[in-house]
Amino acid sequence: MSRESRKLRRQQRRAAEKGELRRKMREEPGAFWTYVILRTIVILILIRSIFAGNLDNVVVCALVLVLYVLPQFVENRLRIEIPSVLEIIIFVFVFAAEVLGEMQSYYLKYQHWDTILHTTSGFILAAVGYSLVNLLNKSERVRFQLSPAYLAVVAFCFSMTMGVLWEFFEFAADRLLLFDMQKDTVLTQIATVDLDPTLSNTPIVISGIEDVILQLSDGSEYALGLGGYLDIGIYDTMEDLFVCFIGAVVFSLIAFFEQRSEKRPLTTALALHKRKKEPSTGAEMQ
């Protein structure tokens, strides 16, 4: 391919992207302005972080900006339309998780911030899983029809699988990069078979724990002063999976009953659908 051909294709691609943004602004103003406002805020934070030399925030902002262009990329590559309601939820969710949660420390400032986000993610991912399978139901190329119960089960399984994979990612980040994404829990009671002197797999219960003292390799000791035993992530992981389960079950049940009725407000509002025709790029380039 010649240099002129590559240049022409880049120009056509940019024109198509601009045309798509203009279409979004005209037909889906809610999603468009949510994207513009949140993206502008992230860019301003990115600039401030660069001048402040805060590389962690720079990386988070760059990640958010990449995530914000993914919906349009998916739409263009897979020839599908993401409904405005779902796009707005995704944009706000990413902002709440990364900018507010990580950069503004909302995970620590507000006790249930992480719980709310994981519950929401379970609901959203179930909607995405439902939509992907429902696209096959409506496809002219694929000749089969799935029952409402099967659609609900697939939506639930997709959401839970994504939730488990996310917990794998958090564990890897904590294990390899020492990020502490799986937040710790302070316990006043534990049960462990490791302290059983008889080696008979009998759990030894220790109650009334008020503190833990660490003895370091140099012989020094350090009291945590947290008021109990420091659990390393397991409680946080299980809570995240449980609330993800709740979100997935709620959407799956709603989808099941809506599929059996003529009125489908939620699944219609959140369901992906195929584009009817290619957007015209010629008119945009003139």
Domain membership flag for residue 10? yes
**C-alpha distances out from residue 256 to 103, 146, 147, 230, 253, Å:** 38, 12, 9, 42, 5
In a shared domain, residues 22 and 59: yes
In sequence order, the 6+-apart residues with CB closer than 8 A to the CB of 259 are: 148, 151, 152, 267
3-state helix, strand, coil split of the chain in percent (to 5) is 65, 10, 25
pLDDT digits (tens, 9 = 90+) for 234-276: 999 999 999 999 999 999 999 999 988 878 888 888 888 777 6
In a shared domain, residues 73 and 210: no
Of the candidates 109, 103, 106, 107, which has an alpha carbon nearest to the alpha carbon of residue 57? 103
Q: Can you give the residue range of the structural domain that contains 213? A: 185-231
Domain membership flag for residue 82? yes
In a shared domain, residues 28 and 83: yes
In a shared domain, residues 99 and 197: no
pLDDT value of position 179 = 83
Under 8 Å between Cβ of 162 and 125: yes
Domain membership flag for residue 28? yes
Round to whole Å and give the CA distance between 6 and 16: 15
Other CB atoms within 10 Å distance of the CB of residue 1: 7
Place of tokens 């969710």: 93
Domain membership flag for residue 283? no
Of the candidates 151, 158, 116, which has an alpha carbon nearest to the alpha carbon of residue 260? 151
Under 8 Å between Cβ of 45 and 57: yes
Under 8 Å between Cβ of 92 and 116: no
Round to whole Å and give the CA distance between 81 and 65: 20
Q: Is residue 223 helix, strand or coil?
A: strand
pTM over 0.85: no
Domain membership flag for residue 284? no
In a shared domain, residues 177 and 54: no
Domain membership flag for residue 280? no
Under 8 Å between Cβ of 187 and 207: no
In a shared domain, residues 7 and 74: yes
In a shared domain, residues 11 and 25: yes
Round to whole Å and give the CA distance between 109 and 228: 20
In a shared domain, residues 9 and 85: yes
Chosen domain end from 105, 128, 155: 105
Task: Provide the number of structural domains found in the chain.
Answer: 3
What residues of the chain score a pLDDT lower than 70? Answer: 1-2, 7, 12-21, 23, 139-144, 276-286
In a shared domain, residues 92 and 129: no
Domain membership flag for residue 29? yes
User: What DSSP element (H or E) covers 230?
Assistant: strand 229-231
In a shared domain, residues 47 and 124: no
Chosen domain end from 69, 88, 105: 105
Domain membership flag for residue 256? yes
Place of tokens 């980040």: 173
In a shared domain, residues 36 and 3: yes
Please, how many CA atoms are within 13 Å of residue 193, restricted to the half-sphere of its CB? 4
Chosen domain end from 54, 83, 105: 105
Of the candidates 84, 85, 110, which has an alpha carbon nearest to the alpha carbon of residue 97? 110
pLDDT value of position 279 = 47
In a shared domain, residues 16 and 128: no
